[in-house]
Amino acid sequence: MPHTCKNLLIRCMDFRLYKKTKKWIAESDLFEGGFDVISIAGAGKELVDGSEEVKNNLMKQIGISVDIHQAKKIILFHHSDCGAYALDYKFSSLEEEKEKQFEDMKKVKEVILEKYPEVKVVFVWGELKDDNGDKIEFEVIST
């Protein structure tokens, strides 16, 4: 019997997200049919401004999920107070950080759809309401 799933989650590796994201996933119908996970600092950021080697590796991982596991939906999950973004940018506000990350998420979607036009890409924004990740507000953005 083939092992397939309907979704791929691309998320940031930030440890603060783990507990609340796990709970949110369990309560969300967004992940029906199972999901693969790619966890990397900055989530989709490296597909926008990473090295060619990293970009190629990420696209290979996406390809495994789409081509082998038959994922039809890619959930791209970015969050506020992201260290990977903080290394490269000095945001003056949450709104500025969110705007930059959404700009990058749109670019990531273009890259993915160029190679896999049959998939649906959904954006999720997680806004940390405290420094520890004990309170996170999740927002699904249909694209």
Query: Residue-wise pLDDT tens for the chain (143 aa)?
Result: 578 999 999 999 999 999 999 999 999 999 999 999 999 999 999 999 999 999 999 999 999 999 999 999 999 999 999 999 999 999 999 999 999 999 999 999 999 999 999 999 999 999 999 999 999 999 998 75
Task: Write down the domain spans for the chain.
Answer: 7-141
- CA 101/CA 42 separation, integer angstroms: 9
- Which CATH class name applies to 7-141? alpha beta
Q: Which two tokens stand for residue 53?
A: 């080697």
The SS3 of residue 25 is: helix
